[in-house]
Structure 1
Amino acid sequence: MRYALLALIAGLLFPLAFAPYDLWPLMFVSIAMACFCLQQSESARQALLRGWLYGMGMFGFGVSWVHVSMHEYGEMSLWMAIPFTAVFAAVLALFYGLTFYCSWRLGRSALVFAGSWLLLDWIRGWFLTGFPWLYAGYSLIDTPFAPLAPLGGVWLLTLSAVLLASSLVQLRQPGPQRWLAGALSVLILVMTGIAHTLTFTHSSGEPQPVALVQGNIPQDLKWQISMRERTREIYHELTATIPDGYLVIWPESALTEFYQTITDFVESEGETLQQRGGAFITGVPWRTLDNGGITYRNSIAAIPLQAEDGHERVYHKQKLVPFGEYVPMQSLIRGLIPFFDLPMSGFTPGDPAQGNLQTLGHTIAPFICYEILYPEQVATRSHGSDALITISNDAWFGTSAGPLQHFQMARMRALETGRWLLRGTNNGVTAVIDDRGKVVDALPQFERDVLLSSYQPRQGTTPFMTTGVWPWLLLAALMMAAGWRFRMRQP
């Protein structure tokens, strides 16, 4: 019982390593405690339970903010929102139950534990559309380990964190696995030192002024029909104050009407900025007729929409949020509770083959909200781009830790790709992030304002952009195989 309780406590420590707390050393403490609880397990079943309790502490605390959107904006009573959130956390916790279970079966060593952790984290990122949240590596964005990200992304940082922490526990036990885990840990530290001297991308052209407009329209008012005209006025008035020559960015669904409904207004804004030597990019819902039916998409467009070559400069979001942007099995569950009928919850994903946006002579790789959490998608789309842009509406989660965690993870994409990231949101965090993942300029949350800054276009390719996750999944598999092999040799 005491080890089960210890596993739960270790899981509760895990989210404290992330924003807004940023107590990153607790990441290593949490993982070391988890590995210790695993090694004290007397059966695979016991290990499974302890791993699940660890994950329950991690997600029960780390994503507790999910209930905010359900209760405050989804019209779900608190007595229903909290159990729904608990069930969500309990399902996610199964991945760490499986991590402990596999590790126990294959030898309970630091090698197996770290390899299993990375493999199950990767599966969590795509299974049933995935929930790529709270990977251990994100907590290391502002630490000496950060330069590993261009080499192997958040995956290498995660593997490093788990291996280093669990190797400390492994030192208690005799045998060759202790030395192999120690050797890999030393290799990680050496690689980290070398990574500080490496640069994979380079400046390309002059800095470009950018203006990110933060409308800060309350979420409970944003989707009301009576608010539409006032919303247009807010964004128009804020944009009118921006000097000439700026790339102006409005956030995700800045306007809650379809582009096809407000074409004249949006195009007028774009033409005005173009005449002043600038450009305009905005998030906007999109409606098209397909095979006699109507398709809705969450989109980002460069305005004027029509490029000189006749192509539309628009990108449609590929990774949709379950229940927020589409409802699984909607024919069965729509109408059961108001949360399943949130505004704009019937979107269709965009084509993965879409091109990037072109504006002011630059190629901008676009990502909408949740998409910025998918390392491989960002790495693939970043090839040939000069900068990254992500727009979001984190107002769904109020003053909780969710938006700040989201912002921290977005910063990792800039570091992985060696490119500046422009992040426009409805109510924060609106920011400009450099190629090292550092915040250059930012607006406070929950303020209506315009962030005037600039970004440096960059070209080049990082190792992670070329290889993605596969080398680290292979290394994780080899570590698991080595741990199992050592176990089989034991008398």
Structure 2
Amino acid sequence: MRNYVYALLLGSIFPLGFAPFDLYPITLISISLFIFLLDKKNNSNHYLLGFFYGLGLWSVGISWVYVSIHYHGDISIIMSLLITFLFAAFLSLYFSALTFLYSFFKTNDTHVNYIVLFPILWVSIEIVRSHLFTGFPWLIVGSSLSGTSLGGWTPILGSYGSSLIILMSAGCLTSIMNQRKRLEFYSTLLFLLFLISSFSLNKYNWTSEDEELNTFLYQPNLSLRDKWSINGFNKTKKLIEQAVAISKQGDLIVFPETAIILDKTEIAPWIKEINFKLIQKEASLISGIIAKDSTNEYLIERYNRFQGFGILNSHYDKVHLVPFGEYVPLRDYLGGVMDVLGINMISTLPGESINSLKAGNIRVSPSICYEIAFNNLIRKTAKTSNLIITISNDTWFGRSFGPEQHLEIAQTRALEHQKVLLRATNSGVSAIIGRKGEVLKRQGIFEQKELKGKIYLYEGNTPFSIVGNSIIYIIILLTYMYLFYIKRTNVHKY
């Protein structure tokens, strides 16, 4: 029982390596001690140790879910805590799978177990978690180094590859703790190699500066109730008009997700006027907008759109939607029930394609909210773009860890492609992120301000931009082939 408590505590300190704390050595220590705990001789139920480690990790790491459910879902404290706990418990099953597989593939060589087997299994589970049930790529280990001087492997191997490097480093520390002289020497050497290579590679520039651009990010800071009202829209409309009026030649203005809550057809004269003024200045404005597709008595279908105005007059419709948040799974089967009950349904439709926005020398890789967490989705447009822009509305998560963690994920995408990333949100955290994942400028949470900045468009690609996750997939595949070979050889020996 005591070991389960240790696992719970080790899991609970894991998120301290991520935003808003950024104590990334603690994540390394958490993983290293957990590997050490797994290898204790009296531990037979590895899957339970994994579950409790995951429960500690997710209970702290996604505590922002409670804020969203209780304060904005108008659900009681008890029910909100229960739902958050159940979600954390569900995610903990991934760690149960991790530790079960570890006990299955475990070899007689502790060096291999710590530095190869455990890291490969962890990264495999991260990848599965990022895709299964629409995916939840949150608290990916590699993201903890974004914006630090040790993020050098991320532009080469991506966030999963960085996870592997960190996990192998943790395995080295575990080997050192085992106090076997031969292992201590090689593990220390390997750990230093990972450290020095990460630091050295971070200095290398895969992309090159091109054109300079003046940018203005607007954070309206409207409450959720106000945001979806006509009064709220009028406030945003006034901000947009002011932004366009003071803009100069070639400026880029960015407003957050669904800043414009009306369809373009409903405000056509105003849109025409805004476009005209921007084109005269050869300027651009990007804003989230609602685009209606069809309407009947009980069902409203719409797109969550990333809309460009002025010379950047094109759009992108969000393709990776949040289940239950933006659409109801099995809607075709539930629609009849909703009709009988007289319940209106608002459903967001997925975009038909993943496309960039282009105007002159500007080529924008767009994403909306949660999409920024999916590295392969962003790569599809980032590799042909010279600027990444993500718009979001994190008001749902209040002053919890959520907005800061979301920002850190955006930093990882900037680092993977070594291109500037602009992040505009309704209530924070809006930021200008440099190509090394560092935050150049930012706005605080629940502040109504504009964020001005001069940025560079960057040309060229990182290795990750070109090949994506292919390298890490090949490494994982070859490792599994080796592990199965070892397993089979050991079986035939006896």
TM over 0.5: yes
State, as a whole percentage, how many aligned pairs show the same letter.
Answer: 30
3-state DSSP class of the match of 1:147? coil
Rate the CA distance shift 1:345–1:149 in 2: closer, same or farther, 3 A: farther
Q: Distance in 1 between matches of 2:223 and 2:337?
A: 26
* 1:203 and 2:202 correspond: no
Rate the CA distance shift 1:105–1:178 in 2: closer, same or farther, 3 A: farther
Rate the CA distance shift 1:342–1:74 in 2: closer, same or farther, 3 A: farther
Paired position in structure 1 for 2:75: 76
Q: Distance in 2 between matches of 1:100 and 1:346?
A: 39
Rate the CA distance shift 1:175–1:96 in 2: closer, same or farther, 3 A: farther
Paired position in structure 1 for 2:170: 165
Q: What TM-score, normalized to structure 1?
A: 0.89
Cα distance, 1:198 vs structure 2? 2.5
* 1:118 and 2:118 correspond: no
Paired position in structure 1 for 2:319: 318
Rate the CA distance shift 1:342–1:164 in 2: closer, same or farther, 3 A: farther
3-state DSSP class of the match of 1:414? helix
Once the two structures are superposed, the pairs formed by residues 28-47 of structure 1 within 5 Å of their partners are 28-40=28-40, 42=42, 46-47=45-46
Once the two structures are superposed, the pairs formed by residues 254-403 of structure 1 within 5 Å of their partners are 254-289=259-294, 295-304=301-310, 313-330=314-331, 346-352=347-353, 354-403=354-403
Could you tell me which of 236, 241, 246 is aligned with 2:241?
236
Matched-pair contact (CA < 8 Å) for 2:256–2:392: yes
Rate the CA distance shift 1:190–1:238 in 2: closer, same or farther, 3 A: closer
CA-to-aligned-CA distance 1:259-308 (integer Å, 9 cap, x gap): 33223323322322222332111110112359xx974111111114995x
When structure 1 is superposed on structure 2, of 79-88 and 343-352 the one drifting more is 343-352
Paired position in structure 2 for 1:461: 461
Paired position in structure 2 for 1:107: 106
Paired position in structure 2 for 1:310: none
Rate the CA distance shift 1:151–1:396 in 2: closer, same or farther, 3 A: same
Cα distance, 1:330 vs structure 2? 4.2
CA-to-aligned-CA distance 1:294-338 (integer Å, 9 cap, x gap): 74111111114995xxxxx1100111112211122346779999x
Q: Distance in 2 between matches of 1:173 and 1:67?
A: 43
Paired position in structure 2 for 1:192: 198
Q: Distance in 2 between matches of 1:164 and 1:42?
A: 25
Q: Distance in 2 between matches of 1:343 and 1:409?
A: 34
Unaligned runs of 5+ in 2: 108-112
* 1:95 and 2:94 correspond: yes
Paired position in structure 2 for 1:212: 217
Matched-pair contact (CA < 8 Å) for 1:324–1:345: no
Matched to 2:148, the amino acid is T
When structure 1 is superposed on structure 2, of 114-123 and 139-148 the one drifting more is 139-148
Q: Distance in 2 between matches of 1:321 and 1:342?
A: 20
Rate the CA distance shift 1:412–1:104 in 2: closer, same or farther, 3 A: same
Matched-pair contact (CA < 8 Å) for 1:116–1:480: no
Q: CA RMSD in A?
A: 3.0
CA-to-aligned-CA distance 1:36-62 (integer Å, 9 cap, x gap): 121126566x11011011111111110
Rate the CA distance shift 1:118–1:416 in 2: closer, same or farther, 3 A: same
Q: Distance in 1 between matches of 2:316 and 2:311?
A: 11
Matched to 2:214, the amino acid is P
3-state DSSP class of the match of 2:444? coil
Paired position in structure 1 for 2:470: 470
Aligned length: 478
When structure 1 is superposed on structure 2, of 468-477 and 23-32 the one drifting more is 468-477
Cα distance, 1:71 vs structure 2? 1.8
Unaligned runs of 5+ in 1: 308-312
Cα distance, 1:129 vs structure 2? 0.7
When structure 1 is superposed on structure 2, of 172-181 and 104-113 the one drifting more is 172-181
Q: Distance in 1 between matches of 2:226 and 2:50?
A: 42
When structure 1 is superposed on structure 2, of 140-149 and 226-235 the one drifting more is 226-235
Rate the CA distance shift 1:197–1:400 in 2: closer, same or farther, 3 A: closer
Rate the CA distance shift 1:425–1:90 in 2: closer, same or farther, 3 A: same
Q: What TM-score, normalized to structure 2?
A: 0.88
Matched to 1:16, the amino acid is L
